[in-house]
A and B are shown apart, each in its own frame.
Chain A
């Protein structure tokens, strides 16, 4: 996978969470993911097509997403409900859209599909290609989340 494709997703994640949810996220060291298991309790996945095909996912721990969306909504949320799922879908959409714009400025024109949201303990994230998946862990005051990016070679 072209490593140039990773950084736009990292910077888009920081930018979207800061501007749209007032959340300061701290990126950790990216690693190659070995299995399909999600790192969190609720995930958004989106397909990306263009010069090469792939997908991006965003996987939040329960506490992290409950606190982030509660802060956006201005009210406490006790469980992963439709407001949470909608917000995860929208965050997935905005992060991939923002990364797509940055990739476009580098000369890579991609299209993004509609996001899918998956919830449940030990759910799996199926990326759209069989290439290695790069996972970027993030930490926030509300808890951890992980962004995964996978593109065909």
Chain B
């Protein structure tokens, strides 16, 4: 699932995933709350979420997923335009979490995805 409030960035991430060979359903959510609502209906193999979003940010979504008995093993790749110490300190709640700073290349995106999927 892709969680990003900027439609243009969300679509760009989706294209990256398709280029990297992602098959199956890629659901999209415009904020953490929409993503959390989708998680009430089904589960996902991977969540890619922006940190700064309205209604519910990526860190709160990550916290809820890690505290959910049903979803806590889903890898989460958080993306951010900020490289602040606060971001770096708050992202890794488990080995299933990683983060990327925007802008990032397709190669960096692929590397992070493989690292996360291996942890699963």
Q: How far is the CB of B85 from chain A (nearest CB, A)?
A: 11
Whether B45 sits at the interface, judged by CB under 8 Å, is no
Is B6 within 8 A of A74, CB to CB? no
> Which of A15, A20, A83 touches B12 (beta carbons < 8 Å)?
A20
Interface size on B, residues (CB 8 A): 17
Instruction: Given A72-B11, A93-B81, answer yes or no on A86-B103 (Cβ-Cβ < 8 Å).
Output: no
Which chain B residues lie closer than 8 Å to A86 at the CB level?
5-8
Q: How far is the CB of B101 from chain A (nearest CB, A)?
A: 8
A93 to B12, CA, bound (A): 17
Q: How far is the CB of A14 from chain B (nearest CB, A)?
A: 10
Q: Which of B15, B81, B102, B104 has the most CB of A within 10 A?
A: B81
Which chain B residues lie closer than 8 Å to A97 at the CB level?
81-83, 101-102
Q: How far is the CB of B75 from chain A (nearest CB, A)?
A: 23
Whether B105 sits at the interface, judged by CB under 8 Å, is yes
Which chain A residues lie closer than 8 Å to B103 at the CB level?
15-16, 19-20, 94, 98
Is B9 within 8 A of A90, CB to CB? yes
Instruction: Given A20-B12, A21-B12, A101-B83, answer yes or no on A94-B7 (Cβ-Cβ < 8 Å).
Output: no
Instruction: Given A97-B82, A97-B83, answer yes or no on A72-B9 (Cβ-Cβ < 8 Å).
Output: yes
Is A83 within 8 A of B105, CB to CB? no
Q: Which residues of A contact B (CB under 8 A)?
A: 15-16, 19-21, 69, 72-74, 83, 86-87, 89-90, 93-94, 97-98, 101
User: Can you name 21 A-B pairs with beta carbons within 8 Å?
Assistant: A16-B103, A19-B104, A19-B105, A21-B8, A69-B8, A72-B8, A72-B9, A72-B11, A73-B8, A73-B11, A74-B11, A86-B5, A86-B6, A87-B6, A87-B7, A90-B9, A90-B81, A93-B81, A97-B81, A97-B83, A101-B101
